[in-house]
Structure 1
Amino acid sequence: MKRFLSLVLAAGLALSLTACGDVLVDLDTPKSGELSAQYEFYPDSMNTLRADMQITPEQADDVFIALVSCGLDGKINTISESDGVYKIRWGSSTLEVTMNDDGTVSEISDGKDVLFPEYKQYNFLLDCKVKTADVESGSGDVIGQRAFVSVLKSQLADLAPENFAEFAETVVKDSGYNYFTIKCDDGTGIVFDGSDVSLPVYGQLDDDGRVSDTVGFIKQGADGSYTYEQAE
Protein backbone atom coordinates (compact mmCIF):
# COMPACT_ATOMS: atom_id res chain seq x y z
CA MET A 1 0.00 0.00 0.00
CA LYS A 2 2.84 2.39 0.87
CA ARG A 3 4.52 1.68 -2.47
CA PHE A 4 1.21 2.30 -4.26
CA LEU A 5 0.77 5.65 -2.46
CA SER A 6 4.34 6.65 -3.36
CA LEU A 7 3.68 5.96 -7.02
CA VAL A 8 0.43 7.92 -6.90
CA LEU A 9 2.16 10.90 -5.25
CA ALA A 10 4.98 10.79 -7.78
CA ALA A 11 2.55 10.69 -10.66
CA GLY A 12 0.55 13.54 -9.14
CA LEU A 13 3.70 15.64 -8.81
CA ALA A 14 4.65 14.99 -12.43
CA LEU A 15 1.16 15.92 -13.61
CA SER A 16 1.12 19.11 -11.57
CA LEU A 17 4.44 20.18 -13.04
CA THR A 18 3.25 19.40 -16.53
CA ALA A 19 0.08 21.37 -15.94
CA CYS A 20 2.21 24.38 -15.06
CA GLY A 21 4.11 24.04 -18.31
CA ASP A 22 7.26 22.80 -16.54
CA VAL A 23 9.23 19.61 -17.05
CA LEU A 24 11.72 18.07 -14.67
CA VAL A 25 15.07 18.78 -16.32
CA ASP A 26 18.54 17.95 -15.10
CA LEU A 27 20.28 21.34 -14.85
CA ASP A 28 23.47 19.79 -13.48
CA THR A 29 25.61 20.23 -16.59
CA PRO A 30 29.17 21.54 -16.99
CA LYS A 31 27.77 24.93 -18.06
CA SER A 32 24.63 25.17 -15.94
CA GLY A 33 26.18 26.92 -12.93
CA GLU A 34 27.71 29.73 -14.96
CA LEU A 35 24.62 30.13 -17.16
CA SER A 36 22.28 30.19 -14.15
CA ALA A 37 24.39 32.92 -12.58
CA GLN A 38 24.42 35.01 -15.77
CA TYR A 39 20.84 34.58 -16.95
CA GLU A 40 17.88 34.43 -14.58
CA PHE A 41 15.69 33.09 -17.40
CA TYR A 42 18.05 30.16 -18.04
CA PRO A 43 16.34 27.44 -15.92
CA ASP A 44 12.83 28.02 -17.31
CA SER A 45 14.13 28.40 -20.85
CA MET A 46 16.13 25.19 -20.49
CA ASN A 47 13.01 23.32 -19.45
CA THR A 48 11.23 24.42 -22.62
CA LEU A 49 14.21 23.78 -24.92
CA ARG A 50 14.84 20.33 -23.49
CA ALA A 51 11.21 19.21 -23.60
CA ASP A 52 10.00 20.74 -26.87
CA MET A 53 13.12 20.08 -28.93
CA GLN A 54 13.74 16.67 -27.35
CA ILE A 55 17.46 17.21 -26.86
CA THR A 56 19.86 16.47 -24.01
CA PRO A 57 20.61 19.03 -21.28
CA GLU A 58 24.10 19.55 -22.72
CA GLN A 59 22.68 20.13 -26.20
CA ALA A 60 20.08 22.48 -24.74
CA ASP A 61 22.89 24.48 -23.11
CA ASP A 62 24.56 24.97 -26.49
CA VAL A 63 21.26 25.97 -28.11
CA PHE A 64 20.63 28.44 -25.30
CA ILE A 65 24.11 29.99 -25.69
CA ALA A 66 23.62 30.33 -29.44
CA LEU A 67 20.20 31.94 -28.92
CA VAL A 68 21.62 34.43 -26.42
CA SER A 69 24.28 35.42 -28.96
CA CYS A 70 21.42 36.16 -31.37
CA GLY A 71 19.43 38.32 -28.98
CA LEU A 72 17.54 36.05 -26.57
CA ASP A 73 17.05 38.14 -23.44
CA GLY A 74 14.04 36.65 -21.71
CA LYS A 75 12.25 33.46 -20.78
CA ILE A 76 11.30 31.33 -23.77
CA ASN A 77 7.52 31.11 -23.91
CA THR A 78 6.80 28.68 -26.74
CA ILE A 79 8.58 26.53 -29.30
CA SER A 80 6.92 25.17 -32.42
CA GLU A 81 8.40 23.00 -35.16
CA SER A 82 7.66 22.84 -38.88
CA ASP A 83 9.74 21.02 -41.51
CA GLY A 84 12.67 20.74 -39.16
CA VAL A 85 12.72 24.44 -38.23
CA TYR A 86 11.98 25.43 -34.63
CA LYS A 87 10.38 28.81 -33.94
CA ILE A 88 11.57 30.08 -30.57
CA ARG A 89 9.33 32.80 -29.09
CA TRP A 90 9.84 35.07 -26.10
CA GLY A 91 8.06 38.35 -25.48
CA SER A 92 7.33 39.79 -28.92
CA SER A 93 10.48 38.29 -30.48
CA THR A 94 10.99 35.15 -32.58
CA LEU A 95 14.04 33.30 -33.82
CA GLU A 96 14.12 30.30 -36.14
CA VAL A 97 16.52 27.46 -35.33
CA THR A 98 17.58 24.66 -37.66
CA MET A 99 19.32 21.69 -36.04
CA ASN A 100 21.84 19.19 -37.35
CA ASP A 101 21.20 15.46 -36.99
CA ASP A 102 23.73 15.28 -34.15
CA GLY A 103 21.78 17.77 -32.02
CA THR A 104 23.98 20.78 -32.73
CA VAL A 105 22.71 24.08 -34.09
CA SER A 106 22.98 24.40 -37.86
CA GLU A 107 21.54 27.89 -38.29
CA ILE A 108 19.63 30.62 -36.49
CA SER A 109 17.76 33.33 -38.35
CA ASP A 110 15.24 36.06 -37.61
CA GLY A 111 13.12 34.94 -40.57
CA LYS A 112 15.20 36.95 -43.05
CA ASP A 113 18.84 37.43 -42.07
CA VAL A 114 20.95 34.50 -40.89
CA LEU A 115 22.42 35.39 -37.48
CA PHE A 116 24.29 32.19 -36.56
CA PRO A 117 26.87 30.69 -37.08
CA GLU A 118 27.80 33.86 -38.97
CA TYR A 119 25.78 36.82 -40.13
CA LYS A 120 24.37 36.64 -43.65
CA GLN A 121 22.09 39.41 -44.84
CA TYR A 122 18.90 38.44 -46.62
CA ASN A 123 19.10 39.66 -50.22
CA PHE A 124 16.00 41.82 -50.52
CA LEU A 125 16.97 42.82 -54.08
CA LEU A 126 16.02 39.36 -55.29
CA ASP A 127 12.45 40.01 -54.11
CA CYS A 128 12.11 43.33 -55.92
CA LYS A 129 9.71 43.30 -58.84
CA VAL A 130 11.47 44.04 -62.10
CA LYS A 131 9.53 46.59 -64.13
CA THR A 132 10.15 47.45 -67.78
CA ALA A 133 9.57 50.38 -70.10
CA ASP A 134 10.22 51.12 -73.75
CA VAL A 135 13.35 52.95 -74.82
CA GLU A 136 12.63 55.43 -77.59
CA SER A 137 14.84 57.21 -80.08
CA GLY A 138 14.80 60.97 -80.52
CA SER A 139 12.15 60.55 -83.20
CA GLY A 140 9.93 58.49 -80.91
CA ASP A 141 10.67 55.07 -82.37
CA VAL A 142 10.92 52.17 -79.89
CA ILE A 143 14.50 50.90 -80.02
CA GLY A 144 14.51 48.56 -77.04
CA GLN A 145 13.54 48.14 -73.43
CA ARG A 146 14.91 49.20 -70.08
CA ALA A 147 14.37 47.54 -66.73
CA PHE A 148 14.36 48.88 -63.20
CA VAL A 149 13.69 48.00 -59.58
CA SER A 150 12.72 50.53 -56.89
CA VAL A 151 14.31 50.50 -53.43
CA LEU A 152 14.76 52.79 -50.44
CA LYS A 153 18.09 54.60 -50.25
CA SER A 154 18.49 53.28 -46.70
CA GLN A 155 18.13 49.72 -47.99
CA LEU A 156 20.76 50.26 -50.66
CA ALA A 157 23.12 51.86 -48.15
CA ASP A 158 22.92 48.77 -45.92
CA LEU A 159 23.18 46.25 -48.78
CA ALA A 160 25.96 43.69 -48.33
CA PRO A 161 28.47 43.66 -51.21
CA GLU A 162 27.94 39.97 -51.84
CA ASN A 163 24.19 40.55 -52.23
CA PHE A 164 24.81 43.31 -54.77
CA ALA A 165 27.07 40.91 -56.68
CA GLU A 166 24.44 38.16 -56.53
CA PHE A 167 21.77 40.48 -57.91
CA ALA A 168 24.05 41.66 -60.71
CA GLU A 169 24.98 38.10 -61.65
CA THR A 170 21.56 36.45 -61.42
CA VAL A 171 19.15 39.22 -62.42
CA VAL A 172 20.98 41.83 -64.49
CA LYS A 173 23.66 39.91 -66.39
CA ASP A 174 22.62 38.81 -69.91
CA SER A 175 19.08 40.09 -69.31
CA GLY A 176 19.10 41.80 -72.71
CA TYR A 177 17.83 45.23 -71.62
CA ASN A 178 19.31 48.42 -73.02
CA TYR A 179 20.04 49.35 -69.42
CA PHE A 180 19.03 48.21 -65.96
CA THR A 181 18.47 50.63 -63.09
CA ILE A 182 18.35 50.25 -59.32
CA LYS A 183 16.24 53.30 -58.53
CA CYS A 184 16.27 54.92 -55.07
CA ASP A 185 13.54 57.02 -53.50
CA ASP A 186 15.81 60.11 -53.31
CA GLY A 187 16.35 60.30 -57.06
CA THR A 188 19.72 58.58 -57.12
CA GLY A 189 20.45 55.10 -58.37
CA ILE A 190 22.76 52.59 -60.01
CA VAL A 191 22.69 51.92 -63.75
CA PHE A 192 24.02 48.88 -65.59
CA ASP A 193 24.43 50.14 -69.15
CA GLY A 194 23.58 47.47 -71.73
CA SER A 195 22.94 45.12 -68.78
CA ASP A 196 26.74 44.95 -68.46
CA VAL A 197 27.65 44.12 -64.86
CA SER A 198 31.36 44.97 -65.06
CA LEU A 199 31.07 48.73 -64.41
CA PRO A 200 27.72 49.99 -63.09
CA VAL A 201 27.49 53.73 -62.49
CA TYR A 202 26.03 55.48 -59.45
CA GLY A 203 24.60 58.98 -59.51
CA GLN A 204 21.59 61.23 -59.94
CA LEU A 205 18.95 59.76 -62.27
CA ASP A 206 16.90 61.44 -64.96
CA ASP A 207 13.25 60.70 -65.70
CA ASP A 208 14.23 57.75 -67.90
CA GLY A 209 16.29 56.05 -65.20
CA ARG A 210 19.69 56.94 -66.63
CA VAL A 211 22.51 58.64 -64.76
CA SER A 212 22.43 62.38 -65.45
CA ASP A 213 25.12 63.30 -62.90
CA THR A 214 27.77 60.69 -62.15
CA VAL A 215 28.83 60.36 -58.52
CA GLY A 216 30.87 57.16 -58.67
CA PHE A 217 31.69 53.86 -60.33
CA ILE A 218 31.22 50.33 -58.98
CA LYS A 219 33.99 48.21 -60.48
CA GLN A 220 33.81 44.44 -60.70
CA GLY A 221 37.03 42.60 -59.90
CA ALA A 222 38.33 39.37 -61.39
CA ASP A 223 36.81 37.44 -58.48
CA GLY A 224 33.34 38.93 -59.12
CA SER A 225 33.39 41.26 -56.10
CA TYR A 226 32.78 45.00 -56.39
CA THR A 227 34.63 48.07 -55.19
CA TYR A 228 33.33 51.65 -55.26
CA GLU A 229 35.33 54.56 -56.67
CA GLN A 230 34.29 58.18 -56.40
CA ALA A 231 34.05 60.05 -59.69
CA GLU A 232 36.61 62.81 -60.15
Structure 2
Amino acid sequence: MNLVDLLALAAPILLKGTLYTLIFAFSAMFGGLVVGFILAVARIIPSRAVQVPAIVYVSMMRGTPLLVQVFIIYYGLPSIGISFEPLTAGIIALSLNAGAYISESLRGAIQGISAGQWSAGYSLGLNYWQNLRYVVLPQALRLAVPAMSNSLISLIKDTSLVSVITVTELLLATKDVIATTFQPLPLYLAAAAIYWVLCLILEQVQARLERHFGRATRSA
Protein backbone atom coordinates (compact mmCIF):
# COMPACT_ATOMS: atom_id res chain seq x y z
CA MET A 1 0.00 0.00 0.00
CA ASN A 2 1.48 3.34 -1.05
CA LEU A 3 1.51 6.39 1.16
CA VAL A 4 -1.43 8.15 -0.53
CA ASP A 5 -3.68 5.10 -0.22
CA LEU A 6 -2.58 4.59 3.37
CA LEU A 7 -3.42 8.16 4.37
CA ALA A 8 -6.73 8.02 2.49
CA LEU A 9 -7.65 4.89 4.43
CA ALA A 10 -6.53 6.35 7.76
CA ALA A 11 -7.97 9.85 7.33
CA PRO A 12 -11.57 9.19 8.49
CA ILE A 13 -10.38 7.30 11.57
CA LEU A 14 -7.75 9.90 12.44
CA LEU A 15 -10.25 12.74 12.00
CA LYS A 16 -12.68 11.01 14.37
CA GLY A 17 -9.86 10.58 16.87
CA THR A 18 -8.98 14.25 16.46
CA LEU A 19 -12.58 15.19 17.24
CA TYR A 20 -12.44 13.21 20.48
CA THR A 21 -9.12 14.84 21.31
CA LEU A 22 -10.70 18.28 20.94
CA ILE A 23 -13.74 17.25 23.00
CA PHE A 24 -11.43 16.05 25.76
CA ALA A 25 -9.24 19.14 25.66
CA PHE A 26 -11.99 21.76 25.70
CA SER A 27 -14.19 19.87 28.19
CA ALA A 28 -11.21 19.47 30.49
CA MET A 29 -10.28 23.14 30.04
CA PHE A 30 -13.78 24.20 31.09
CA GLY A 31 -13.72 21.82 34.06
CA GLY A 32 -10.18 22.92 34.88
CA LEU A 33 -11.23 26.57 34.89
CA VAL A 34 -14.00 25.83 37.39
CA VAL A 35 -11.71 23.76 39.63
CA GLY A 36 -8.86 26.22 39.21
CA PHE A 37 -10.99 29.24 40.13
CA ILE A 38 -12.25 27.53 43.29
CA LEU A 39 -8.74 26.53 44.29
CA ALA A 40 -7.27 29.94 43.52
CA VAL A 41 -9.86 31.67 45.68
CA ALA A 42 -9.31 29.10 48.44
CA ARG A 43 -5.58 29.84 48.34
CA ILE A 44 -6.05 33.58 48.92
CA ILE A 45 -8.79 33.42 51.57
CA PRO A 46 -7.21 34.33 54.92
CA SER A 47 -8.19 31.06 56.58
CA ARG A 48 -5.81 28.15 57.14
CA ALA A 49 -8.73 25.73 57.27
CA VAL A 50 -9.51 26.64 53.66
CA GLN A 51 -5.98 27.22 52.41
CA VAL A 52 -4.37 23.99 53.61
CA PRO A 53 -6.68 21.52 51.77
CA ALA A 54 -6.25 23.58 48.58
CA ILE A 55 -2.46 23.61 48.99
CA VAL A 56 -2.37 19.85 49.57
CA TYR A 57 -4.62 19.19 46.56
CA VAL A 58 -2.52 21.33 44.21
CA SER A 59 0.70 19.76 45.47
CA MET A 60 -0.69 16.24 45.06
CA MET A 61 -2.04 16.79 41.54
CA ARG A 62 1.13 18.51 40.34
CA GLY A 63 3.39 16.02 42.08
CA THR A 64 1.92 12.80 40.66
CA PRO A 65 1.82 11.67 37.02
CA LEU A 66 -1.39 12.34 35.10
CA LEU A 67 -1.35 8.73 33.91
CA VAL A 68 -1.51 7.50 37.52
CA GLN A 69 -4.43 9.85 38.17
CA VAL A 70 -6.27 8.43 35.14
CA PHE A 71 -5.71 4.89 36.45
CA ILE A 72 -6.96 5.82 39.93
CA ILE A 73 -10.17 7.38 38.61
CA TYR A 74 -10.99 4.69 36.04
CA TYR A 75 -9.58 1.52 37.61
CA GLY A 76 -9.23 2.42 41.29
CA LEU A 77 -12.48 4.13 42.22
CA PRO A 78 -14.72 1.17 41.17
CA SER A 79 -13.22 -0.75 44.11
CA ILE A 80 -15.10 1.64 46.43
CA GLY A 81 -18.26 1.65 44.37
CA ILE A 82 -17.56 4.70 42.17
CA SER A 83 -17.29 4.03 38.46
CA PHE A 84 -17.32 6.12 35.31
CA GLU A 85 -17.52 5.50 31.60
CA PRO A 86 -14.11 5.88 29.89
CA LEU A 87 -15.04 9.20 28.28
CA THR A 88 -16.27 10.64 31.57
CA ALA A 89 -13.32 9.28 33.53
CA GLY A 90 -10.88 10.83 31.06
CA ILE A 91 -12.52 14.25 31.21
CA ILE A 92 -12.65 14.17 35.02
CA ALA A 93 -8.97 13.20 35.30
CA LEU A 94 -7.85 15.87 32.85
CA SER A 95 -10.08 18.51 34.49
CA LEU A 96 -8.82 17.80 38.00
CA ASN A 97 -5.23 17.84 36.83
CA ALA A 98 -5.60 20.99 34.73
CA GLY A 99 -7.42 22.71 37.60
CA ALA A 100 -4.34 22.43 39.80
CA TYR A 101 -2.14 24.18 37.22
CA ILE A 102 -4.75 26.79 36.29
CA SER A 103 -5.28 27.61 39.96
CA GLU A 104 -1.63 28.54 40.31
CA SER A 105 -1.84 30.77 37.22
CA LEU A 106 -4.93 32.51 38.59
CA ARG A 107 -3.56 32.79 42.11
CA GLY A 108 -0.36 34.36 40.84
CA ALA A 109 -2.33 36.78 38.67
CA ILE A 110 -4.65 37.74 41.54
CA GLN A 111 -1.74 38.31 43.88
CA GLY A 112 -0.05 40.33 41.15
CA ILE A 113 -2.79 42.96 41.34
CA SER A 114 -1.55 45.86 43.43
CA ALA A 115 -2.93 46.49 46.91
CA GLY A 116 -4.06 49.88 45.67
CA GLN A 117 -6.69 48.22 43.48
CA TRP A 118 -8.13 46.42 46.50
CA SER A 119 -8.08 49.67 48.47
CA ALA A 120 -9.84 51.50 45.67
CA GLY A 121 -12.62 48.92 45.67
CA TYR A 122 -13.02 49.12 49.43
CA SER A 123 -13.16 52.90 49.22
CA LEU A 124 -16.17 52.53 46.91
CA GLY A 125 -17.97 50.49 49.56
CA LEU A 126 -17.38 47.06 48.04
CA ASN A 127 -16.95 44.08 50.33
CA TYR A 128 -14.24 41.44 49.84
CA TRP A 129 -16.19 39.27 47.38
CA GLN A 130 -17.51 42.23 45.38
CA ASN A 131 -14.00 43.63 45.20
CA LEU A 132 -12.68 40.29 44.00
CA ARG A 133 -15.41 39.89 41.39
CA TYR A 134 -15.66 43.39 39.94
CA VAL A 135 -12.20 44.90 40.46
CA VAL A 136 -9.51 42.26 40.90
CA LEU A 137 -10.61 39.27 38.79
CA PRO A 138 -11.11 41.15 35.49
CA GLN A 139 -7.56 42.47 35.76
CA ALA A 140 -6.15 39.14 36.94
CA LEU A 141 -7.67 37.26 34.03
CA ARG A 142 -5.77 39.46 31.60
CA LEU A 143 -2.53 38.56 33.34
CA ALA A 144 -3.41 34.86 33.45
CA VAL A 145 -4.30 34.46 29.76
CA PRO A 146 -0.82 33.34 28.59
CA ALA A 147 -0.43 30.72 31.32
CA MET A 148 -3.98 29.40 30.91
CA SER A 149 -3.53 29.24 27.15
CA ASN A 150 -0.39 27.19 27.67
CA SER A 151 -2.41 24.84 29.88
CA LEU A 152 -4.91 24.31 27.05
CA ILE A 153 -2.11 23.60 24.59
CA SER A 154 -0.67 21.08 27.06
CA LEU A 155 -4.09 19.47 27.39
CA ILE A 156 -4.15 18.77 23.65
CA LYS A 157 -1.05 16.62 24.11
CA ASP A 158 -2.12 15.17 27.47
CA THR A 159 -5.28 13.70 25.90
CA SER A 160 -3.06 10.98 24.43
CA LEU A 161 -2.81 9.49 27.92
CA VAL A 162 -6.52 8.62 28.06
CA SER A 163 -5.93 6.06 25.31
CA VAL A 164 -4.95 3.70 28.14
CA ILE A 165 -8.60 3.52 29.23
CA THR A 166 -9.79 2.59 25.72
CA VAL A 167 -11.00 6.03 24.66
CA THR A 168 -10.51 6.32 20.90
CA GLU A 169 -8.84 9.70 20.79
CA LEU A 170 -6.18 10.49 18.21
CA LEU A 171 -3.41 8.25 19.55
CA LEU A 172 -5.58 5.16 20.01
CA ALA A 173 -7.22 5.76 16.63
CA THR A 174 -3.74 5.79 15.12
CA LYS A 175 -2.87 2.53 16.88
CA ASP A 176 -6.07 0.93 15.54
CA VAL A 177 -5.11 1.80 11.96
CA ILE A 178 -1.56 0.54 12.51
CA ALA A 179 -2.95 -2.77 13.76
CA THR A 180 -4.60 -3.35 10.37
CA THR A 181 -2.05 -1.77 8.02
CA PHE A 182 1.26 -2.53 9.80
CA GLN A 183 2.61 0.88 8.80
CA PRO A 184 3.61 2.52 12.09
CA LEU A 185 6.06 5.20 10.94
CA PRO A 186 3.88 7.19 8.48
CA LEU A 187 0.81 6.90 10.71
CA TYR A 188 2.59 8.04 13.88
CA LEU A 189 4.09 10.90 11.89
CA ALA A 190 0.59 11.81 10.65
CA ALA A 191 -0.71 11.80 14.23
CA ALA A 192 2.22 13.95 15.36
CA ALA A 193 1.48 16.39 12.52
CA ILE A 194 -2.16 16.66 13.61
CA TYR A 195 -1.16 17.37 17.23
CA TRP A 196 1.29 19.98 15.96
CA VAL A 197 -1.32 21.69 13.76
CA LEU A 198 -3.81 21.81 16.64
CA CYS A 199 -1.19 23.38 18.89
CA LEU A 200 -0.21 25.89 16.20
CA ILE A 201 -3.85 26.97 15.86
CA LEU A 202 -4.17 27.41 19.62
CA GLU A 203 -0.92 29.37 19.71
CA GLN A 204 -2.41 31.79 17.18
CA VAL A 205 -5.56 32.11 19.30
CA GLN A 206 -3.37 32.75 22.35
CA ALA A 207 -1.44 35.46 20.51
CA ARG A 208 -4.68 37.18 19.46
CA LEU A 209 -6.03 37.08 23.02
CA GLU A 210 -2.81 38.53 24.39
CA ARG A 211 -2.93 41.36 21.85
CA HIS A 212 -6.60 41.99 22.64
CA PHE A 213 -6.05 42.14 26.40
CA GLY A 214 -2.90 44.16 25.87
CA ARG A 215 -4.86 46.81 23.97
CA ALA A 216 -7.59 46.74 26.61
CA THR A 217 -4.99 47.30 29.32
CA ARG A 218 -3.35 50.20 27.49
CA SER A 219 -6.69 51.89 26.82
CA ALA A 220 -7.89 51.49 30.43
TM over 0.5: no
TM-score bracket for the superposition, by shorter chain length: under 0.3
TM-score by length of 1: 0.20
Quick check: which one's helix share is greater? 2
Which structure has more relative contact order (CA 8 Å, sep 6+)? It is 2
Q: Highest CA radius of gyration, 1 or 2? A: 1
TM-score by length of 2: 0.21
Quick check: which one's strand share is greater? 1
